[in-house]
Each structure stands twice: as C-alpha cells, then as structure tokens.
Homo-oligomer: A and B are copies of this chain.
C-alpha cells in the first residue's frame, strides 16, 4: 500500500500562510515568499504547463512529492469558500482547465457535488463525510501509489493529529512572517512514529523529510 504524504512550505517562525488569508489572497500577506524557491524549478514549472526552469537538489524533492496516485485537499485549496459551490457558470476551482494534479483529487467539503472531470487526468471528487472516508477513497483510487495531502494547513493538521501521515516534507524557508497560520498549532506533541530521515540544505530553503523508520 502506498504512503500518505504531505509537503508544506513553512517559515522559520512556523507559518504556512501569512495573515488575512482570503479567496483573493489564499496565501495571506507575505505568504508568497514561502514559495519563491519552487517557482524557479523546472520540476514545478513542467506540471504547471510552464517552460524552462532550474534543476538543483530541490528538484528531486519536488519530483518525489509529486509522484502520487491520488490527492486529498480542502475546499479552499480547490477554490471554494464555506458557501455552496457557485454553479452559474459551474465553478471549476481556480486551477484552470488543466489542473496540475493529473490524478483523482478528493475535495473535503460540506456541499455534495457530482465529480468534475478536467483536462490532463485530473478529476475532482467531492467528499462530504470526513477525512477518513476521503482518505479511503483516495487510497482506492491511487491503486497502490502514494496519496498526497495537498493542503491547506488545516487539512494537514487534521491528518497529522489523527496519525494518518506516513511522510512529511517540510520546505523551511529562513524568513519570518511574524503572523499568520501556523502548521504546528493544536497538533500536540505526537509524531506518530515519524522521525527526521533526510535534510537537504539549500540557501533559500531547507528540505526536511520526516518518515517512519523501516
């Protein structure tokens, strides 16, 4: 069976998004600074339909994280707020016609909706009965490959606290955001058997991988 894994960019002071997050500014004030290192990478640009880009030790970290058979995400990550989906015209999220997932994606929401097939192999499925049923469905769809928890942070927190995460890649960016949304808030002190298994130090980001001892 594949692993359940997540990757998160996090500031030195522990924030995964800046303050005042909104539908117009989902990363919050300053949150974009956490992701600059990845936008330059060919390993990120290719799946997002962009040409060119750099290759460096971060590339392999990103490629490994992208090697999944299914994805789970929260409704805000899909592109919806707390209300019902907008349906005139049908709202297909903010990932465009060819989302960068190229796998089945299970969106946690309170609002039922039929599956939404997109170009490039991404189909959004909407799951209304909680994190465990969503994970079960994602595992089945992944057919033995890994399942990615795509975010947001609250989704990662819930799966972490419940002990469902087998591998966590933290991309630590050596800046302070000062305020915003913390990853490690109300998740307790239990790593559920995960330990630091790899560190890839770069100038603008330090990749920390936590996994289970074999």
Q: Which of A45-53, A79-87, A134-142, A200-208 contacts B (4 or more CB under 8 A)?
A: A200-208
A210 to B203, CA, bound (A): 11
Task: Say yes or no for A162: interface residue by CB 8 A criterion.
Answer: no
The answer to whether A195 touches B176 (Cβ under 8 A) is: no
A191 to B174, CA, bound (A): 10
Copies of this chain per assembly: 2
Task: Say yes or no for A70: interface residue by CB 8 A criterion.
Answer: no
Residue of B nearest to A185 (CB): B13
Task: Say yes or no for A65: interface residue by CB 8 A criterion.
Answer: no
| Least distance between A29 CB and chain B CB atoms (Å) | 10
| Least distance between A123 CB and chain B CB atoms (Å) | 35
A174 to B190, CA, bound (A): 12
List the B side residues contacting A191 at CB < 8 Å: 175-176
Main secondary structure, interface of A, reads loop
Contact of A176 among B177, B187, B204 (CB under 8 A): B187
Task: Say yes or no for A178: interface residue by CB 8 A criterion.
Answer: yes
The answer to whether B184 touches A196 (Cβ under 8 A) is: no
Residue of B nearest to A206 (CB): B199
List the B side residues contacting A201 at CB < 8 Å: 199, 201, 206
A136 to B184, CA, bound (A): 37
The answer to whether A208 touches B176 (Cβ under 8 A) is: no
The answer to whether A189 touches B177 (Cβ under 8 A) is: yes
Contact of A184 among B13, B30, B210 (CB under 8 A): B13
A187 to B208, CA, bound (A): 24
List the B side residues contacting A177 at CB < 8 Å: 189
List the B side residues contacting A199 at CB < 8 Å: 199, 201, 206
Kindly list 4 other residue pairs between chains A and B, CB separation below 8 angstroms, not including A176-B188, A196-B203, A199-B206.
Answer: A12-B208, A30-B189, A175-B189, A196-B204
Interface residues of A (CB under 8 A from B): 12-14, 30, 170, 174-179, 182, 184, 187-191, 195-196, 199, 201, 203-204, 206, 208, 210
